Amino acid sequence: MSAIRRKPVGDPLTTTRRHSRVKSGISRVTEKSLFDQVLKVCVLSYRCEPRFRGGGKRQSRDLASLGVSDPTPSFGDQKLPKEAPKLLQQKLNKLALNQGSSDITDPLVRRCFLAFYALLLDPDFSRRIKENRRAEDVVMFFISSSTKELAKSGSQPAETKRLVNYFTATFVKFLIATLREAGFESSCASLIRQLQSYESKLVNDTGNLGESNGSASYSAGLTPTFDVADIHLAKSLGPYFLMSDSLIQKGVSEIKDTATEQAAEADLRLALDQLKQDRFPYYQRQYFGSDDAYQDYKNRAIEAVQTQLAGYGAQSSTQSTTYYYIPEDPRAYGRLLVKICLSHDLKSKSDTLLSKNSIAILTECFNLWQIPSSTRAALVMDVCQELLKLKELPISLIEDSVSFISHVGRENGKREWDTSLWPVCDREVYVLGLKEVLVFVIDLISGCIKSIYEQKPPSIGPYLQILGECVFCSSEWDRVEMIVDMPKVFDNLSLVVKSVAEHKYDEFIDAIPRDHTLDPLHIIELADRIISSAERLQKRYKRPLLEHVPIALIAAKTHFSLFSVDSQSMFTHLMSHMTARHEEPSYDDMTLLYKKLCEIRELYVQVLPGKFPFDLEAAFVKYIRRHVEQSATLATSWVDPAIDADKWEPMDEGEGIMYSSSVADMFTSLGTALAIISELHWDNPVHVAQFYTTLMNGVSVAVCKYASRVFQLFSEELELEDDKKVKYKSRQEKWMAMAKNAMAGSAPLTPYQFKKTTCIKLNDIETAQAKLDEIEAQLDSEKLAKVLEGVNTNAGPGKIVTKDTTNKKRAYLFTIRIVQAENLKACDMNGLSDPYVTLVDQATRKQIGKTRTIFEELNPVWDETFEIATGGPSWLTATVWDEDSLGSHDLCGRAFLRLDPAAFGDFIAQDYWLDLDTQGKLLVNITMESERDDVRFYFGKALRTLVRCENDMIKVMVDKLTAFIQYSLSRETMKSLISPGRGKLKEFNMESVSSWLSSTSISNVPLTPTMIEDAITPLFDYLNESFATLAVGLTDEIRLKVMSRTWRVVLTTLTSLLLPRLSYKRTSKTQLSAKEVDIVFTWLSSLRDFFHHDGAGPSLEVLHSQQYQELMRVPVYYDLSNEELKDECEKLSSSTFKALQDKTYVGLPELIKRKNTVMAHRNRTVMRKQKERIRNAKREAPQNEDIILCILRMRGELDFVARRIKQKERLQQTLATESLVAKGRK
């Protein structure tokens, strides 16, 4: 179907309407006057039948057996000259115009010759003859056309055969004469001889018709009886005009003497004269749109009249001034005749538009009335559109009607369709007919639209096909558009679609209860019906109707527009009734309803402009928020079942999945809770951010609980392994036993055997970090927090308002780091203690944390961190205990700590030396953070807890290795290298070992690196087997972390050989000799290579840490004099000041200030970037002054050391105060 173009409406048919009713006279034509005119034509046609021009009895009209039995002529390879078609046209034209002398006088012969002449005028036929130049084809086409002409005359088959032979012989003779007259007698001599032979044969076959008197013998025919039974056309008029044969006979009798050939010839001569003089009353110049159009009509009309005159054989030369056969208004008479014939044939249920009888009657009348093909086509179109509106013409025959009209307008295919050559009135009638067809079919389509929601609606396709093939493809479509307001047509069709959609929606809505029985499922079902109907229409009507009426889209717009308003009313009605009954809607119902309404909303915004009228998020937010809060509360309940069901085995060790089921199960549950929000596709980013923040609060608590439970099981498992071993009264006895085995060689050294389940627990904590980080990346906590900036999260349901300054109770998170203790009370018989620290909240009597035990130490270093959340000031009790393996634990000392938020600033760490009530003091570092309802805070809290848990677990594991490392890397081991003459121990007891170790005989034999390394071979073996054991159960990442932590222990141990701890108290530790210093750094180099292990262990970047760099600087100051050290210390005072600034966070970027806070742990990416930037900036410079002070302490310069330490403490306090003041000003 061609595209419909919208054009301005109202362009008048200025060239057509002026003459639309010229000489129409339709109102003056009656069926009686039409019958009289048609009867004249029927009588004339009867007179001209061939049977009345030859002898013999009137025979049957059966044409099925007509034909020539003679063999097809064959003239060999002889060809006609190229000029033959043109020569035949010229000579036949003279015959038609009665110009020149001719032997052909018989009217029937002339008709056959002129029928062939008409065929020769066809350009295609003429070109074909010219191309092949076969005489056989010319003769055969003449035979064919003659046979058809004789069939029209009603001759019997036998008679027709003889006449065709005779006429063909005459034509062959005519062809020979044409060739000779044109001078082709010599060049076509052979062809002419063959033509003469063929002529002779035909003449012999025709008998006396071939004789010289044959024509006269043939001309003597039967005499017309004028009996209506013998007049075929006249008899057939009865059913058309509802007349009996007697009435028709009466009419024939009245006109038989006047309806003659002479009268017809007189009409034709009058028409010819008027045409030549441009006076033909029915078609004059002003009735055409151009001179060319009129001239084309005139030429064709003159040719047609001349052809008809030739058929009558010039029987009369009578001139007439009036017409006998041609009615006063041929168009009006012709239209009525077409209507009568078409109505009759339609009532008779004919398979074709017009029957053969109707076509015969119309053809005879229109030919004689001089009605051209354009008028015939216009009249048929005009009648068809009238009968179509009267519903007498079936819609199925519209295409046949237009096809028939096209055939008639092209003169049965002899010319091209060109309405520009038509008379203006004919063209207008045709255009108006197309317009009526368009309007009628549009009405049918409108009727089909009313049934679009039926199960099997009527198809619109056939009607569109009719419009496409009959109207839109017409050359006159542009003119139709000028008189039809197509935009209005499209609008009307759209209104029909909308009306039908509204009616269907009323059916849907009527099924919804209007009382208290309304349920969410009712609204969901209504929405499903609307969506289903929209999808069904979309499948049925994929393309817009007539390219401008999208049926599915209009219907969808109507339904979604109505539902968008009604859904809000139904929801309000539903909630009011549930509130009155004190019922709470189920979460499942609410989510189903919300999702369905969201689906409607998505479709709404696709087809309609503007926003969906029903604010779904505002209506449903309180129900979703309630469920989110419940899920957040229940999050912690998922931890214990997951842990209880865990067998602490790898999920898939073969695939490298080394974590257990508990972490997978817990995060699956957490992921399911978080997926609830994403699956809702909530269309309010503020609400989404609030939901995730609430859920992450619960997730954070659950993750922290999981970390605590796993660490507890981890610690209990290691303690249980310790309990299975031999109990010793002291740590010293235990390691003396190990030394006996290691150094006496009585038994192989056995490393600590970590169980695989212990390693799996550590892997789980690492996996939890990774999964939590994945959740953070998926949710994008930064984006969520940015959405909530400036928004009051405590606003009412569905409301979003700007944050106010209302004071509300705040929570504070204190991070307490137990750093170290000094000068503790000795509780054991060996003059030492095995100290650990507990923190207890005095208000709740609940233990907050407990450090690990440091054996045989009065100046222990724990460096462990604990957290407590408070809503205001609180008191904690810090108690130092001495662990006793055989009895109750002893009290070493107690101190009290006040946590007052007013005394702390956010993210500012402060050191406190707490004096114990017995003796000694405890160093704690405290940092406060204000807890906030921020999704980043919850992520940071959970991840920091996991990180600390992992670090604590690694510390515990490394502690199992620390004792042997310290024992192997000791001054006693160095003495064994320097004094090899001690010999072997004969018995192991305290006195003999002490005596053996105190031996001071020094060897003068130089020590090689190999000798020095061999001294700690047991340590290499021990670490190698321990790391191999861990490698089986730990992931590579955790294994490297354990090794890195162990390396720190190695560095600390080696540093303790060179330097005492920084203090202003006297120490018994003495400075090492040059040989001993060489031993220390040889061990350092060997152990570094051992840990690196050609890249299989920690990287050199990790091994060359700040602590390593500081250790490497010790030799720089080790041999300087005291005065030189003091001078250097004074020079380093400025760098010391900067280091203190770093610790108190004055003047540093926010990145450094928050590096250990909860917010700084919100995801692993942030943590990694901060560490990288800090490391690249190298803000923590090596503490060279501390190295110097430690050396001076060994040398007894206690006053200088004490003075510098106190100066640093005062400076630190001052800077901390300045920091608080600066924060207060902000």
Q: 921: which strand partners?
A: 822, 915
Residues in CB range of 919: below 8 A, 6 or more apart? 823, 824, 825, 893
Provide CATH code, domain 812-930. Answer: 2.60.40.150
Q: How confident is the model at residue 431 (pLDDT cuts 50, 70, 90)?
A: very high
| For residue 744, pLDDT beyond 90 | no
- Cβ burial, residue 727 (10 Å; 0-12/13-18/19+): exposed
pLDDT at 220 exceeding the cut of 90:
no
Residue 2 pLDDT class (50, 70, 90 cuts):
very low
Give the chain's mean pLDDT: 81
**Count of other CB atoms within 10 angstroms of residue 851:** 21
Q: What is the pLDDT of residue 1137?
A: 62
Which tens digits make up the pLDDT trace of 537-596? 999 999 999 999 999 999 999 999 999 999 999 999 988 988 888 888 888 888 999 999
DSSP helix, strand, coil percent of the chain (3-state; round to 5): 60, 5, 30
pLDDT band at 66 (very low <50, low <70, confident <90, very high): very low
Q: Which of 960-964, 1034-1038, 1209-1213 has the lowest mean pLDDT?
A: 1209-1213
CA atoms of 822 and 819, how far apart (whole Å): 11
Please say whether the beta carbons of 997 and 732 come within 8 A.
no
Of 812, 909, 915, 817, give the one whose Cα is nearest residue 869.
Answer: 812
Specify the pairing of strand 921-930 against strand 812-822.
antiparallel
Separation between Cα atoms, residue 489 and residue 1067, nearest integer Å? 108
Q: What is the pLDDT of residue 8?
A: 35
Are 972 and 744 in contact by the 8 Å Cβ rule? The answer is no
CA 700 – CA 673 distance, rounded (Å): 13
Per-residue pLDDT, averaged over 890-899, amounts to 90
pLDDT value for 853: 86
> Which segments of 750-860 are extended strands (E)?
812-822, 835-841, 846-850
The token duo for 857 is 């130490």
Per the model's pLDDT, the better-predicted residue between 107 and 936 turns out to be: 936
- Residue 600: its pLDDT value, please? 92
Q: 631-652, pLDDT tens digit by residue?
A: 888 888 889 999 999 999 998 8
Q: With cut-offs at 50, 70 and 90, classify the pLDDT of residue 185.
A: confident
Distances (CA, A) of 1102 to 955, 1098, 1107: 17, 6, 10
* Helix ranges restricted to H, 207-329: 214-219, 232-235, 237-241, 245-255, 261-276, 291-312
pLDDT reading at 702 higher than 50? yes
* Choice among 9-13, 320-324, 419-423 with the minimum mean pLDDT: 9-13
Tokens of 1008: 């090689």
Q: How far is CA 446 from CA 463, 487, 502, 754, 1100, in A?
A: 11, 15, 16, 86, 85
For the residues 117-121, what does the mean pLDDT come to? 84
Can you tell me the distance from the alpha carbon of 893 to that of 903, in angstroms, rounded to the nearest whole number?
25
CB atoms within 10 A of CB 1085: 13
- Residue 1157: is its pLDDT beyond 70? no
Residue 1221 pLDDT greater than 70, yes or no: no
Element (H or E) spanning 677, and its range? Answer: helix 661-680
What does the pLDDT average to over 400-416?
A: 83
Phi, psi of 870 (to 5 degrees): -135, 160
CA distance 945 to 924: 19
Beta-strand runs (E) in 1034-1149: none
Q: Is 884 exposed, middle or buried (0-12, 13-18, 19+ CB in 10 A)?
A: middle
Q: Does domain 631-787 have CATH number 1.25.10?
A: no
Q: What is the pLDDT of residues 318-342, one digit of tens each?
A: 677 899 999 999 999 999 999 999 9
Maximum Cα–Cα distance across the chain: 173
Would the pLDDT of 216 be above 80?
no
Report d(CA 687, CA 625) in Å as an integer: 9
DSSP 1161: G
pLDDT band at 515 (very low <50, low <70, confident <90, very high): confident
Residue-level pLDDT at 1176: 54
Tell me the pLDDT band of 18, cut-offs 50, 70 and 90.
very low
Q: Which amino acid is at 520?
A: P
Q: Where are the domains of the chain?
A: 84-219, 631-787, 812-930, 959-997+1011-1225
CA 1081 – CA 240 distance, rounded (Å): 132
Q: Identify the CA nearest to 854 among candidates 832, 870, 871, 873.
A: 832
Question: Which 8-state DSSP code applies to residue 351?
Answer: S
pLDDT-derived band at 720, boundaries 50, 70, 90 = low
How far apart are alpha carbons 234 and 604 in whole angstroms? 70
pLDDT at 16: 37
Do the beta carbons of residue 747 and residue 989 sit within 8 Å? no
More confident residue, 687 or 124: 687
Would you place residue 655 in the very low, low, confident or very high pLDDT band (cuts 50, 70, 90)? confident
Q: DSSP letter string over 885-943?
A: SSSPPEEEEEEEEEE-GGG--BT--EEEEEEPSSS-EEEEEEEEEE--S-HHHHHHHHH
Strand partners, 890: 882
Q: How many alpha carbons fall within 13 Å on the CB side of residue 716?
A: 6
The rounded distance, in Å, linking the Cα atoms of 235 and 202 is 38
Amino acid at 218: Y
End-to-end CA gap in the chain: 77
Neighbouring CB atoms inside 10 A of 268's CB total 25
Which of 55-69, 629-643, 805-819 is predicted least confidently?
A: 55-69
Strand arrangement of the beta sheet that strand 910-915 belongs to? 861-870, 812-822, 921-930, 910-915
φ/ψ bin of 863: left (φ > 0), alpha (ψ from -120 to 50), beta (otherwise): left
Query: Can you tell me the distance from the alpha carbon of 452 to that of 464, in angstroms, rounded to the nearest whole number?
Result: 16
Contact between residue 305 and residue 272 where contact means Cβ atoms under 8 Å apart = yes
In this prediction, residue 313 carries a pLDDT of 60
Helix 84-96 with 157-181: angle, nearest 10 deg: 110
Residue 209 has pLDDT above 80, yes or no: no
pLDDT of residue 1146: 44
| C-alpha distances in Å from residue 1109, one per residue of 105, 924, 1013, 1106, 1115 | 137, 27, 22, 5, 12
Cβ(249)–Cβ(228) below 8 Å: yes
3-class DSSP state of 539? helix
Please give, one letter per residue, the 3-state secondary structure of 137-194: HHHHHHHHHHHHHHHHHCCCHHHHHHHHHHHHHHHHHHHHHHHHHCCCCCCCHHHHHH
Looking at residue 211, its pLDDT comes to 39
> CA dihedral in degrees (1143, 1144, 1149, 1154; nearest 10)?
80
Percent of the chain with pLDDT over 90: 29
Residues 6+ apart with CB under 8 A from 692: 674, 677, 779, 784, 935
Q: Can you give the pTM of this predicted structure?
A: 0.65
Spatial separation of the C-alpha atoms in residues 183 and 188, rounded to whole Å: 9
Contact by Cβ (8 Å): 1010, 994: no
Instruction: Give the tokens for residue 698.
Output: 């619960």
Instruction: Give dist(CA 333, CA 327) in Å, integer.
Output: 7
DSSP assignment of 21-54 equals TTT--GGG--HHHHHHHHHHHHHHHHHT-GGGGS
Angstrom distance (rounded) from CA 872 to CA 3 = 79
Whole-number pLDDT of residue 531: 94
For every residue of 581-621, DSSP letters joined together read: TT----HHHHHHHHHHHHHHHHHHHHHSSS--SS-HHHHHH
Per-residue pLDDT, averaged over 660-668, amounts to 91
- In degrees, to the nearest 5, what angle opens at C-alpha 318 toward C-alphas 316 and 322? 130
